[in-house]
Chains A and B, each alone.
Chain A
Amino acid sequence: MGKVRFLLFAAVMCTFLAVTAWSTWNYERTFRTVTTNTQTSAWALAQLEIDVYRLQETLTLYQVGRADNKQLSLSYDIAWNRMDVFLTGEATREIRQRFAAETLVRRILGVLQRHERTVSSPTPGDPTLAQMSQELDELTPRLRDIMVQNFTGPNALQETRLLDEARMRNFAAIGILLLFSLIMLALLFRESKKQHFLAWNDVLTQLPNRAAFMNRLAQLTAIPDAQVVLCLVDLSRFKEVNDSLGHAAGDQLLAQIAGLLLQHRNEEVYLARIGSDEFALVMFGNMSGYSWFAYSRKIYNQLERLLHSEDPAHRVKLNMGISQYPQHARSVEEMVLFADLALLSAKQDKQLHYQVFNRFMLDQYQRKRLLAGHLQQLLAEPHNTELYLCYQPIINISQPQQLGVELLIRWNHPKLNFINPPDIVQIAEENGLGEKLGEWLFRRMRHDIARFPADTLCHVHFSINLSSSIFNQNLVNRVSDWLEGGPLPASQLILELTENIALEDVQLSRKIFTQLKEKQIRIALDDFGTGWSSFSYLKDLSFDKLKIDKSFIRHLDRDKRLPLFVQAITDLSHQLGISVVAEGVETESELRKILEIGANEIQGYYYSRPLGADAFLDYARHYLAASAHETRTDPA
């Protein structure tokens, strides 16, 4: 298309140039023809007539004695010269050929030449002079005729006609030029309109794009005392529609949403598509005062209904985040940020997918921003005291000579005190620090266990939690690198991951699992029971351990139904060759119950809370010594 348009432009330009050149040349030629010779030839003819008449006159006067020899000779020479010029020159060539002028002038000159001898030594009474006079009298009327014809006859109009023709040709040329100019202008206009539209609009929905949206927002807030409400509409998990039904279906859904929004738009609502699955409704004027709430709720409900019918699988979730200017935000940027924060909160809230911005959201956001910056600094220095590891023992019931331990991250912030560990992971993930956090964990662990005696260390198995961004193709290499140089062998490492990490891409997970197993690194499924907890992936992915979430363990001894679940999970795991770890065991009766069910390992306050590195070393020593003693004394 671009090539065709370029060729069209080139053709138009060439035509333009060609027509201009041709028109100029044509006009130049005609102008030259007409102007160079018209005047000269007309003058030459008129002067010739005058000079011949003068000669006749002088001749007559001479014969009656009223002119002398000199006068006669002069007018004779002048007439001769005039005729010679007329017959010779380039300028008179054209007129010579008209009306047989040349023949006539030659005849007149002939008369002069025949009587040259008489004129050079004349006598007034010489009859030859009378003869000459008579001959001239016969010819001059014809000269007159030519004069009249030249000025009035049809040929006289030839020059005018030539000019007229040239003029008409020029008109035609100018017409063509105008036409092409108009075509070119139209093309340029269309092109620039299209470019303008593309620059400010989204092609799929024809709605204004983000840039246009920001401009409009700036305009609206620039009005004094303006009140503006910004409502962001987001479709979370929209990607799944694209993935499962194809992009055409996804595009169609977006177009339908745009159509619905347009259908409900009024003159105080501005619509834009500001992201792949994000729309903006800007309400201003009266809309921003009272009716925005009802309006946005109505839109929400309408969109919900549309999504329900168009996405029967209900994968796509509708979220709305709202901010107000100037009640919340004091600038366009703030308004967009605050609406985004409300939207984020709507996405995270399981019940309320419609959220209006409040200060708490901003505080949360700012806290996270602050922590993210801080965390980045801390991760750069592995031995700081603010960020450290705790070690919670995991008792292996069937193999008491072994001790498991889960590494737990702790952040004792100087101002905000302890940061919730899941928040630390989330902040790291959201700010692209997941990998750094993983590396830090390993380095800190190696630093902590460096002082563990070898005979203790060789009985301890370390569980480390993985965050989602580390779980990729490079995981095995990374972990191998981090373990290199000891003191922990890969066979004593267990990586714990939650089901949402493992299930993101089952194919990939399977590949990673295989690689880990080649390195003798074991994998535990963490927090089982809190998510989908589908049995199918237990079949697809070969975990070494399954950790039953503490919500299943607490009050296990007092509930009637819980043990049924735990029993079923445990039995199934055992049949699949997966070892079962019970998390959060706090009381002796809970312990008894879980042992009855048949869990292999126990983690929880009943045995120990998470300990500092030194405290854990003490614990491990005592525990291992005690179990060695027991083993030794048991047979006795």
Chain B
Amino acid sequence: MNTWRNRFVALALLGSTAHAAAADDVILTVTRGTTQHHFTLQQLAALPQASITTATPWTQGKHRYRGVAIGTLLQRLNMSPPALKVHALNDFWARVPTAVALQYRAILATHVDDQPMSRRNKGPLWIILPLSEHPELNQEKYHNYMVWQARTIEVE
């Protein structure tokens, strides 16, 4: 599988805009009722960064994921909802309890191993939980919270 990944990385480096989002594209929208907050990759990168190194059921080996902690984002937006409904580009969604996100310091990963995550590799945003550090999270219930290609967060 690594050969594929390498090939993919090579393609990504060719500089095609289709792979990684441009810095000024809106990649995250947080909605609450009618209000909307938009974030570009640049804006997210400007927020305090956190990282989690973990393996996942959908990847090979451990990788270091970096991005904004959900807690940090909510704090920045001055929100403390009970749950977040996270929608993905592929119309998948999951309801993530805020308590879980805060307790395990879940992040909205924008980078894997310091490379921006492309849409072809679960990017541009992937909710990451520290599965390796907390084996109790390694079950389907928590796997479902780890939405890739996340695009919109609906605050409830």
A residues with CB within 8 A of B: 35-36, 39-40, 47, 51, 73-74, 76-78, 80-82, 84-85, 87-92, 113, 116, 119-120
Excluding A88-B4, A90-B57, 14 further A-B contacts by CB distance (< 8 Å) are A40-B57, A40-B140, A51-B90, A77-B19, A77-B118, A80-B120, A81-B122, A84-B4, A84-B121, A88-B58, A91-B58, A113-B11, A119-B18, A120-B17
User: In the complex, what residues of B have CB within 8 A of residue A47's CB?
Assistant: 90, 92
* Partner of A81 from B4, B5, B16, B121 at Cβ < 8 Å: B121
A-B contacts, 24 of them at CB < 8 A, read: A39-B140, A40-B140, A47-B90, A76-B18, A77-B19, A77-B118, A80-B120, A81-B119, A81-B120, A81-B121, A81-B149, A84-B4, A84-B120, A85-B58, A85-B122, A87-B4, A88-B59, A89-B58, A91-B57, A91-B58, A92-B58, A113-B7, A116-B11, A120-B18
Q: Report if B145 contacts A (CB, 8 A).
A: no
Choose from A81, A90, A113 the contact partner of B148 (Cβ within 8 Å).
A81
Whole-angstrom CA separation of A73 from B16 in the bound complex: 11
Q: Determine if A120 and B16 form an interchain contact, defined as CB atoms under 8 angstroms apart.
A: yes
User: Does B46 have its Cβ within 8 Å of any Cβ on chain A?
Assistant: no
B110 CB to nearest A CB, Å: 15
Cα A76 to Cα B8 in complex, Å, equals 14
Tell me the minimal C-beta distance from A440 to chain B in angstroms: 89
The answer to the question of B137 belonging to the interface, with a C-beta cut-off of 8 Å to chain A, is no
- Assess A88 versus B90: contact at CB under 8 Å? Given A73-B18, A77-B119, A78-B119: no
Q: Within the assembled complex, what's the spacing in Å between the Cα atoms of A47 and B92?
A: 10
Q: Which of B44-94 contact A (CB under 8 A)?
A: 56-60, 89-90, 92
| Cβ–Cβ contact B57 & A87, under 8 A | no
**Cα-based distance from A77 to B21 in the complex (angstroms):** 12
Partner of A77, one of B7, B59, B120: B120
Interface centre among B7, B18, B92 (most CB of A within 10 A): B18
Top 7 closest pairs, chain A to chain B, by CB: A77-B119, A89-B58, A91-B57, A80-B120, A85-B58, A120-B18, A78-B90
Q: Is B1 an interface residue (CB 8 A)?
A: yes
Q: Closest approach, in angstroms, between the C-beta of B13 and any C-beta of chain A?
A: 13
| Contact residues in B for A77 (Cβ distance below 8 Å) | 18-19, 89, 118-120
Interface of A is mostly: helix
Chain B residues close to A by CB (< 8 Å): 1, 4-5, 7-8, 11, 16-19, 56-60, 89-90, 92, 118-122, 139-140, 143, 148-149
What chain A residues lie within 8 Å of B4 (beta carbons)?
84, 87-88
Which residue of A has the minimal Cβ distance to B57? A91
**Chain A residues closer than 8 Å to B16, beta-carbon distance:** 116, 120
- The reply to whether B140 and A89 contact each other, CB–CB distance below 8 Å, is no
Q: Taking the nearest CB of chain B, how far is it from the CB of A518, in angstroms?
A: 95
Report the Cα distance A91→B57, complex, angstroms: 5
CB contacts (< 8 Å) of A73 on chain B: these are 18
**A524 → chain B closest CB, angstroms:** 101
In the bound complex, do residue B18 and residue A88 qualify as a contact, i.e. CB atoms below 8 Å apart?
no
Complex Cα spacing A112 to B28, Å: 27
Chain B residues, CB < 8 A from A87: 1, 4
Q: Please judge, given known A-B contacts A88-B59, A90-B57, A119-B18, whether A74 and B119 are in contact too, CB under 8 Å.
A: yes
Rounded to whole angstroms, the CA-CA distance of A334 and B79 in the bound complex is: 90
Which residues of chain A are within 8 angstroms of B121 by Cβ–Cβ distance? 81, 84
A77 vs B39: C-alpha distance when bound (angstroms): 21
CA distance A74 to B92 in the complex (A): 14
**How far apart are the CA atoms of A36 and B140 in the complex, in Å?**
7
Q: Shortest CB–CB separation between residue A162 and chain B, in angstroms?
A: 18
Residue pair B59, A78 in contact (C-beta under 8 Å): no
Shortest Cβ distance from B123 into A: residue: A81
Which chain B residues lie closer than 8 Å to A80 at the CB level? Answer: 119-120
**CB of B94 to closest CB in A, whole Å:** 12
- Asked, given contacts A81-B120, A84-B8, A84-B121, whether A89 binds B59 with beta carbons under 8 Å apart, the answer is yes
A85 to B121, CA, bound (A): 8
Picked from B8, B57, B139, the residue with its CB within 8 Å of the CB of A89 is: B57
Chain A contacts for B90, CB-based, 8 A:
47, 51, 78, 82
Shortest B55–chain A CB gap in Å is 8
- Cα–Cα distance between A92 and B1 once the two chains are bound (Å): 13
- What is the bound-complex CA distance between A88 and B1, given in angstroms? 6
Residues of B within 8 Å of A51, CB to CB, are 90
Q: How far is the CA of A82 from the CA of B149 in the complex (A)?
A: 11
Smallest Cβ distance from A64 to chain B, in angstroms?
Answer: 21
The residue on A at minimum CB distance from B90 is A78
Tell me which residues across on chain A come within 8 A of B19, comparing CB atoms.
77
**Distance A73 CA – B118 CA, assembled complex (angstroms):** 12
Least CB distance from A344 to B in Å reads: 82
